[in-house]
Amino acid sequence: MNTERVPFGDLAREYRELKAEIDVAVARVLASGWFVLGPEVEAFERTFAGWLGVRHVVGVASGTEAIALALMAEGVGPGDEVITVAHTAVPTISAITQVGAIPRFVDIDPATCLMDVGQVEAAITPSTRAIVPVHLYGQCVDMDPLLAIAERHGLPVIEDCAQATGATCGGHNAGSIGRMGCFSFYPSKNLGCYGDGGAVSTNDDALAERLRMLRNYGQSKRYHHDIKGINSRLDEMQAAILSAKLPHVAAWNDRRKAIAVRYREGLANSGLMLPVEREAGGHVYHLFVVRSDRREAIMQAAAESGVQTLIHYPIPAHCQKAYLDLGYAEGRLPNTERVAAQVFSLPMYPQLTDAEVQRVIDAVVNAGHV
């Protein structure tokens, strides 16, 4: 038996694959002597907007701040309520509380682990100011019914696309469907930089203008601060790296999908619950998340055969110490809580070899018999 480790992620492999292009991009920025908000950021914003099919992209410092800035651009602030899910990366929630707003949670669909759109309307109150669907694991929330509800109530939909670069819903790219889309370029995301970075996408000219001011101390032009802003900028180095990587994202996402097909075949009789794809398709497998009531035993046995797995996410936001004050008692979001106790993620990145994918399958299948 081959006992070589299969790590959960390995970004050095990606760098080796693209070393020539990345090194040229980084050297170009160093030689330019210009490091924050400049031609590299503008070029990336333009190219990424074209790639997504939107009018504007505004580069910011992280995915968390992309969401916070989108909320600020909509005027969401202290005391306002924002509807989202508790089964997400906690930064979704950090962004909402960063602007002083109150997260209000709806449960998830237990099949897809995505926002149960059917629960959104009942969660709307006179204080609701925005809805933040999370396209978790690389798959879009069912956007058509959500947009219909939002329109009926005059609420903006701000998409959390941090795990969904390249995902589609009804033929439209994640981030081009709601009022704004929020992207993270954290290194392990489907499009990642080599540090922190993020972006907001929108088709609305006025919102884009506002976002450009908000990310840069509220300046309309140098030394003219028209609104109260923050410092949340994408830097030139990260933008140059992103421009070098963007042309590869479609092929990388195809490779993720091909790995998902192999996992599905290899694990069909494993007893694990496999990820459910919405009929609309468009999943880009940021993560390949399976479920089992014997999660801990299987993860442990897989680790012993050298296959690293992780949990996304073990503790839902409403059960985190920081957010107990939101008043969601355990039991309030039963699907969220059940799913959080069952999920675990298999290695999923474009540079995984077929042999490694097979080793993961073998390890997990054998672990299932333990």
Ligand X SMILES: *Cc1c(COP(=O)(O)O)cnc(C)c1O
Is the Cβ of residue 198 or residue 347 nearer to ligand X in the bound state?
198
Q: Which amino acid is located at 162 in the chain?
A: A
| Nearest residue to ligand X on Cβ basis | 63
Burial string for 264-299 (b: 16+ CB within 10 Å, else e) reads: eebbeebebbebeebeeebbbbbbbbbbbeebeebb
Task: In angstroms, give the least distance from the CB of 213 to ligand X.
Answer: 21
Q: Which is nearer to ligand X, 162 or 290 (CB)?
A: 162
| Nearer to ligand X (CB atom), residue 286 or residue 359 | 286
Q: Which residues pair with 198 in a beta bridge?
A: 60, 184
Helix/strand/coil (H, E, C) string of 4-64?
CCECCCCHHHHHHHHHHHHHHHHHHHHHHCCCECCHHHHHHHHHHHHHHCCCEEEEECCHH
Closest contact distance (angstroms) between CB of 226 and ligand X is 26
- Return the number of the residue (54 or 161) whose C-beta is nearest ligand X: 161
CB count within 10 Å of CB 335 equals 18
Residues at the site binding ligand X, with contacts judged by CB under 6 A: 62-64, 88-89, 91-92, 134, 160, 162-163, 184, 186, 196, 198
Q: Between residues 193 and 364, which has the closer beta carbon with respect to ligand X?
A: 193
Tokens of 230: 């923050």
The three-state secondary structure class of 69 is helix
Rank residues 162 and 213 by Cβ distance to ligand X and give the closer one: 162
Amino acid, single-letter form, for residue 147: L
In angstroms, rounded to a whole number, what is the distance separating the alpha carbons of residues 271 and 294?
A: 10
Residues with Cβ within 8 Å of 144's Cβ and at least 6 positions away in sequence, in order, are 170
Residue with tokens 């969660």: 123
- Taking the least distance from each CB to ligand X, the nearer of 163 and 238 is 163
Rounded to the nearest whole angstrom, what is the least distance from the CB of residue 140 to ligand X in the complex? 12
Q: Structure tokens of 293?
A: 């009531």
Shortest distance in whole angstroms from residue 6 CB to ligand X: 22
Q: C-beta of 96: minimal distance to ligand X in Å?
A: 11
Q: How far out from the chain centre does Cα 39 lie?
A: 26
Residue closer to ligand X, measured from CB, 66 or 120:
66
Nearest to 366 by CA among 276, 297, 275, 289: 297
Min separation Cβ 269 and ligand X, Å: 31
Minimum gap (Å) between residue 194 Cβ and ligand X: 13
Q: Find the shortest distance in angstroms from Cβ 4 to ligand X.
A: 29
